[in-house]
């Protein structure tokens, strides 16, 4: 009986975490470049149920899960819609990067979620492009939020105040007013149609799920080599759009469904705990007294 009580309690905690994750997604539906988060649940080790079958040993009946827990939170790196803002300091990233199978030389046919499952069951994810910034401690970070601004010193800063890096890996200090310059699809700054020698550093994460969220739409590559960090090339299917911002990729309709599902599952586990509580109360106060 206590095993069922613990199983229901584990279910409640898992559904509460899923509810909090969906709530976070809904709260960031208007955040530029925000990537929705999905909670991944995993069951506790399964228990094999057996029945004694006389001298012949035991007979296998089946398996029973002993609970569930929220294992990890995974970002969904699908492309968000681009919306025009008219501000020269806003930049939107649009990418549909490809990755070739080293065995066949053909590009992987990624699905809408940016995932491809090989014949052996292994999963390959679509590479993703990011703006490259430097935090206040000098660490390199990555973001899809291109709502930048220029400070009094001419430095290009992100919405969180981080320094935006140029193609040379150094913080960008603009030599002209941003309102008088244009930025092409490769992130190069142009003045009167001519390159100024400055360029946004757009980085590509070949394995984006190796990135770690650091809050405010910023990601960290703990192991850049494992994440496959490299610079964007002219052959990559990615482009920078000045005067636009990438919106959140949160699906509000699906989020509301997930929210209600988590709530109903939480209530079901709550009812089970109440049932076990009443059963234990009856066992102790009535059956035990007899």
DSSP-based helix, strand, coil % in the chain, nearest 5: 25, 35, 40
Gyration radius of the chain over CA positions? 26
Mean of the per-residue pLDDT values for the chain?
88
Q: pLDDT at residue 40 above 90?
A: no
Using one digit for the tens of pLDDT, what is the confidence trace for 62-121?
777 777 877 778 888 999 999 999 899 999 999 999 998 888 889 999 988 888 998 888
Percent of the chain with pLDDT over 90: 60
Q: pLDDT at residue 126 above 90?
A: yes
Structure confidence at residue 3 (pLDDT): 73
Rounded Cα–Cα distance for residues 99 and 73 (Å): 24
Higher pLDDT, 57 or 30: 30
Domains of the chain, by residue range, sit at: 2-75+250-287, 82-246
**Mean pLDDT, rounded, for 266-277:** 88
Q: Taking the C-alpha atoms of 74, 77, 82 and 85 in order, what is their torsion angle to the nearest 10 degrees?
A: 50
Asked if residues 12 and 270 have their Cβ atoms less than 8 Å apart, the reply is yes
Structure confidence at residue 278 (pLDDT): 84
Structure confidence at residue 287 (pLDDT): 67
Using one digit for the tens of pLDDT, what is the confidence trace for 182-212?
999 999 999 988 999 999 999 999 999 999 9
Asked if residues 94 and 241 have their Cβ atoms less than 8 Å apart, the reply is yes
Structure confidence at residue 1 (pLDDT): 54
Burial class (CB in 10 A: 0-12, 13-18, 19+), 27: exposed
């Amino acid at each position: 009986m206590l095993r069922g009580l613990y199983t229901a309690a584990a279910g409640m905690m898992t559904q509460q975490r899923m509810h909090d994750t969906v709530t976070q997604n809904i709260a960031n539906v208007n955040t530029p470049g925000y990537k929705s988060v999905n909670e991944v649940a995993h069951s506790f080790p399964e228990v094999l149920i057996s029945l004694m079958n006389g001298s012949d040993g035991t007979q296998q009946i089946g398996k029973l899960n002993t609970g569930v827990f929220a294992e990890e939170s995974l970002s969904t790196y699908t492309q968000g819609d681009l919306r025009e803002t008219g501000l020269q300091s806003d930049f939107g990233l649009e990418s549909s990067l490809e990755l070739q199978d080293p065995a066949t030389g053909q590009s992987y046919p990624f699905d809408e979620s940016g995932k491809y499952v090989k014949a052996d069951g292994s999963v390959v994810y679509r590479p993703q492009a990011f703006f490259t910034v430097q935090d206040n401690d000098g660490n390199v970070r990555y973001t899809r939020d291109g709502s930048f601004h220029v400070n009094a010193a001419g430095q290009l800063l992100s919405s969180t105040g981080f320094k935006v890096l140029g193609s040379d890996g150094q913080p960008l200090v603009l030599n002209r007013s941003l309102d008088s310059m244009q930025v092409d699809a490769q992130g190069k700054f142009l003045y009167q149609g001519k390159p100024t020698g400055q360029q946004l550093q757009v980085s590509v994460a070949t394995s984006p799920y190796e990135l770690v969220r650091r809050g405010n739409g910023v990601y960290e590559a703990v192991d850049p080599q494992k994440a496959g960090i490299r610079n964007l090339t002219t052959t990559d299917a990615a482009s920078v759009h000045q005067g636009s911002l990438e919106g959140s990729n949160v699906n509000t309709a699906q989020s509301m469904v997930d929210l209600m599902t988590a709530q109903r599952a939480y209530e079901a586990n709550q009812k089970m705990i109440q049932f076990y509580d009443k059963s234990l109360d009856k066992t102790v106060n009535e059956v035990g007294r007899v």
